[in-house]
Copies of this chain bind each other. A is one copy, B any other.
Amino acid sequence: MSDRRATVRAVLDRVEKEGRTSLTAPECKEICDAYAIPLPKEGLANSADEAAKLAGDIGYPVVMKIVSADILHKTEAGGVLVGVADEAAAKAGFESIIANAKAYKADAKIDGVQVQQMVSGGQEVIVGAVTDPSFGKLVAFGLGGILVEVLKDITFRLAPASKDDALGMLDGIKAAEILKGVRGAAAVDRDALAAIIVNTSELTADFPEIQEIDLNPILADEHGATAVDALVSVDFSPPKEVYRPSQEEIVTAMNRIFNPKAVAVVGASDGEGKIGNSVMKNIINGGYAGELYPINPKADEILGKKAYKSVLDIPGDVDVAVFAVPAKFCVAAMEEVGKKGIPGAIMIPSGFAEVGESELQEELVAMARKYNVRIMGPNIYGFYYTPANLCATFCTPYDVKGKAALSSQSGGVGMSIIGFSRSTKMGVSAIVGLGNKSDLDEDDLLIYFEQDPNTDVIAMHAEDLKDGRSFAEVAERVSKKKPVVMLKAGRTQLGAKAAASHTGALAGNDKIYDDVLRASGVIRAYALNDLLQFARGLPILPTPKGENIVIITGAGGSGVLLSDACVDAGLSLMKFPQDLDEAFKQYIPPFGASGNPVDITGGEPPTTYEKTIKLGLEDDRIHSLILGYWHTIITPPMVFAELCARVVQEARDKGIDKPVVASLVGDVEVEEASEYLYERGIVACPYTAELPVAILGAKYQWARGAGLL
């Protein structure tokens, strides 16, 4: 144990022994000193002379405070003096504080008078640490003062935080400019603040029993930063254990679940409308080519497949058991599944924690753990994995192969994924229902999809994260390789309340989710439709090679809306060097606007679109194109779509692959043209300027987070 840890350990052991839940000021000072968190210099005086000596060493002015466990309200007791200016005042101050304390409470046990350096001036900031049920230890940073308290300008990161994290936090608050010095004020000492953030995060991370730390206010100026006050609260109850298999175990099990050689359907049925019948039909009609074993004690054959009374009767190995029996039979069936050595159970049945039957669910999980069976669900629609032609679900089959893997905690959202996919012909690798998340959760899916060559983007709906810390850690790694999009429902106070009553899950503070997900490189969708649209669009856009974005538009009005949308999506328009401006201008009418957006004007023939798009693709200073098409008689929608797809393909054939998105405004033919373009790798949307730009913005957000830009 390092020295600093040993120091804190000793303090905490004493606090625990005394049954306290918070530290005294001297204890706070001691552990902050150990972790190099600067607090005002101070000492405890037991006489007027000692007080004067201490004050002289610290330097005047000083603050003096009574120290007594029996006096909680120091100010009321006349136990605080501020701005004590010299030796005489220090001596007199000591006497008066002791006298006041005795007058306030005659039998108070008095430890002495604390003499403290008086810190003043500089910018008020706050650093703190909190313990979140899902994310565990977090460090917080914000500006201090009443105004910021009203505006809630604060940001969080997982603890321990690195120096980079800490510097990112300084830049991450809305009023970040203040710290850089405004109106001639000097910038605060960023290194000093970052060090406090890092040290506070390490302190809380090193000691699970530290629940909260509050350094408020910290006064920061160009020479450094000092916390004026520190509060530390502790909780010595043992932390709950988290089940977390190794990554290798997860991948092995998930690979068998997603690519099974044999599937058993527990509760398979011939009865039309029964879940066990729908599941069988979907697996068969979906084109699954492996072995399929219906399990039903009362049947010999179901839908042409030989039926077994129990999974134990199946001759060969089985990788997945899909459950379609009532909840009350599941534990017994799970025991057989376990004994058979089946690694994955798809628990479609409802009737568990979501209806208050938490004990039954725990029993089920305990049985599965005993035999090392991973559970998906319960209370789910099942899952789809198109590379294996597997529709292990009671919903309708879906077979459009593609690179988007989607998951949902809620069945309703899952149905939306299926409907939207079918409606837009979105190519998917997987659609997974997570339901009650009794075992498998978003982390497991991330770990599987990370190494799945059939998946290029991972889009998830979640109402809570069982283990937000683990998710964030995995997501940080995975998002370096593939975009991870999350619709975190229960964002708002109202929404969070509904989440709590729906799943019994504790919805976290949304600002924590926002900061931690962002820091982990996760793209957050704020609407269901955005989740779906990002899942559809991100895989078809190539990774941009730089930030230079050019808008080429036939409608000046679209140019304006597309520019607005760029700002909203965090994109910036390339400032043209003169030669590029001139190069574009040679193709557009003399009254067309100069610069970016390139406004080719409305009456132009297809060749103008073609030449300008080609120029945009071939000039390697330009990294992405946003097209604004305007329906005219001279360039009808499908003419535009065909030329655009052709020019983009020609460039790709030459090795030029840039993100191209398009907004198509016009009569209904623009819908067909948009579909045509989408199928050819150009994100195109009718009647909206905002959506294609938002999708491009999500791609950029990912690429930046992954360090590719």
Cβ of A516 to closest chain B Cβ, rounded Å:
18
Binds B, one of A191-199, A475-483, A664-672: A664-672
A214-263 at interface with B (beta carbon < 8 Å): none
Cβ-closest chain B residue relative to A669: B419
Interface residue A309 (Cβ < 8 Å from any Cβ of B): no
Interface residue A106 (Cβ < 8 Å from any Cβ of B): no
A400-442 at interface with B (beta carbon < 8 Å): 408-413, 415-416, 418-420, 422-423
Copies of this subunit: 2
Known: A175-B151, A501-B595. A489 touches B564 (CB 8 A): yes
Cβ-closest chain B residue relative to A494: B563
Interface residue A395 (Cβ < 8 Å from any Cβ of B): yes
Cβ of A585 to closest chain B Cβ, rounded Å:
13
List of B residues within 8 angstroms of A572 by Cβ = 494
A551-609 at interface with B (beta carbon < 8 Å): 551, 553-568, 572-573, 589, 591, 593-595, 597, 599, 602-603
Whether A690 contacts B502 by the Cβ 8 Å rule is no
Binds B, one of A66-74, A108-116, A141-149: A141-149
Known: A182-B150, A412-B558, A412-B630. A563 touches B687 (CB 8 A): no
Whether A419 contacts B687 by the Cβ 8 Å rule is yes
Whether A691 contacts B529 by the Cβ 8 Å rule is yes
List of B residues within 8 angstroms of A100 by Cβ = none
Among A143, A560, A628, A665: residue with most chain B CB under 10 A: A560
**In the complex the two chains form, what is the Cα distance from A416 to B151 in whole Å?**
39
Chain A interface residue bracket vs B? 35 or more
Interface residue A88 (Cβ < 8 Å from any Cβ of B): no
Cβ-closest chain B residue relative to A589: B355
Interface residue A528 (Cβ < 8 Å from any Cβ of B): yes
Residue in B355, B527, B557 whose beta carbon sits within 8 Å of that of A591 in the complex: B355
List of B residues within 8 angstroms of A551 by Cβ = 498
Cβ-closest chain B residue relative to A275: B633
Among A278, A416, A503: residue with most chain B CB under 10 A: A416
Cβ-closest chain B residue relative to A690: B527
Known: A410-B556, A563-B494. A178 touches B147 (CB 8 A): yes
Interface residue A688 (Cβ < 8 Å from any Cβ of B): yes
Among A411, A568, A686: residue with most chain B CB under 10 A: A411
Whether A561 contacts B688 by the Cβ 8 Å rule is no
Cβ of A381 to closest chain B Cβ, rounded Å:
10
Cβ of A593 to closest chain B Cβ, rounded Å:
4
A441-463 at interface with B (beta carbon < 8 Å): 461, 463
**In the complex the two chains form, what is the Cα distance from A556 to B599 in whole Å?**
47
**In the complex the two chains form, what is the Cα distance from A422 to B631 in whole Å?**
15
Whether A182 contacts B149 by the Cβ 8 Å rule is yes
Whether B529 contacts A688 by the Cβ 8 Å rule is yes
Whether A555 contacts B489 by the Cβ 8 Å rule is no
Whether B670 contacts A419 by the Cβ 8 Å rule is yes
**In the complex the two chains form, what is the Cα distance from A708 to B288 in whole Å?**
59
Interface residue A134 (Cβ < 8 Å from any Cβ of B): no
Interface string of A532-548 (1 = CB under 8 A from B): 10000000000000000
List of B residues within 8 angstroms of A46 by Cβ = none
Whether A419 contacts B667 by the Cβ 8 Å rule is yes
Whether A667 contacts B418 by the Cβ 8 Å rule is yes
Residue in B415, B418, B532, B555 whose beta carbon sits within 8 Å of that of A411 in the complex: B555
Whether A557 contacts B492 by the Cβ 8 Å rule is no
Cβ-closest chain B residue relative to A143: B147
Interface string of A3-30 (1 = CB under 8 A from B): 0000000000000000000000000000
List of B residues within 8 angstroms of A666 by Cβ = 412, 415-416, 418-419
Whether A416 contacts B687 by the Cβ 8 Å rule is yes
Whether B689 contacts A560 by the Cβ 8 Å rule is no
Interface residue A120 (Cβ < 8 Å from any Cβ of B): no
Residue in B501, B603, B667 whose beta carbon sits within 8 Å of that of A396 in the complex: B667
**In the complex the two chains form, what is the Cα distance from A182 to B146 in whole Å?**
7
List of B residues within 8 angstroms of A415 by Cβ = 555, 630-631, 665-667
Residue in B175, B416, B491, B591 whose beta carbon sits within 8 Å of that of A150 in the complex: B175
Whether B150 contacts A177 by the Cβ 8 Å rule is yes
Cβ of A573 to closest chain B Cβ, rounded Å:
6
Among A411, A561, A568: residue with most chain B CB under 10 A: A561
Whether B668 contacts A495 by the Cβ 8 Å rule is no
Interface residue A174 (Cβ < 8 Å from any Cβ of B): yes
Known: A182-B150, A419-B668, A567-B495. A559 touches B502 (CB 8 A): yes
Among A147, A175, A595: residue with most chain B CB under 10 A: A147
Interface residue A370 (Cβ < 8 Å from any Cβ of B): no
**In the complex the two chains form, what is the Cα distance from A564 to B559 in whole Å?**
32
List of B residues within 8 angstroms of A527 by Cβ = 565, 688-690
Cβ-closest chain B residue relative to A153: B151
Whether A495 contacts B557 by the Cβ 8 Å rule is no
Whether A667 contacts B599 by the Cβ 8 Å rule is no
Interface residue A185 (Cβ < 8 Å from any Cβ of B): yes
**In the complex the two chains form, what is the Cα distance from A145 to B183 in whole Å?**
10
**In the complex the two chains form, what is the Cα distance from A671 to B418 in whole Å?**
13
List of B residues within 8 angstroms of A410 by Cβ = 555-558, 560
**In the complex the two chains form, what is the Cα distance from A559 to B496 in whole Å?**
10
**In the complex the two chains form, what is the Cα distance from A270 to B665 in whole Å?**
28
Cβ of A13 to closest chain B Cβ, rounded Å:
36
Cβ of A400 to closest chain B Cβ, rounded Å:
13
Cβ-closest chain B residue relative to A179: B150
Interface string of A380-403 (1 = CB under 8 A from B): 000000000000000110000000
Interface residue A354 (Cβ < 8 Å from any Cβ of B): yes
Interface residue A276 (Cβ < 8 Å from any Cβ of B): no
Given contacts A354-B556, A423-B668, A502-B599, 9 further A-B contacts (CB under 8 A): A146-B182, A412-B557, A412-B630, A413-B558, A490-B564, A494-B563, A494-B564, A502-B559, A527-B690
- Please list 30 pairs of residues, one from A and one from B, whose beta carbons are closer than 8 Å in the complex, sorted by A's number: A150-B175, A150-B177, A151-B151, A273-B633, A410-B555, A410-B560, A412-B628, A412-B665, A413-B555, A413-B665, A415-B666, A419-B666, A419-B669, A419-B671, A420-B687, A463-B560, A490-B560, A490-B564, A491-B564, A492-B564, A494-B564, A494-B566, A495-B564, A498-B562, A502-B556, A502-B557, A502-B559, A528-B688, A529-B691, A532-B687
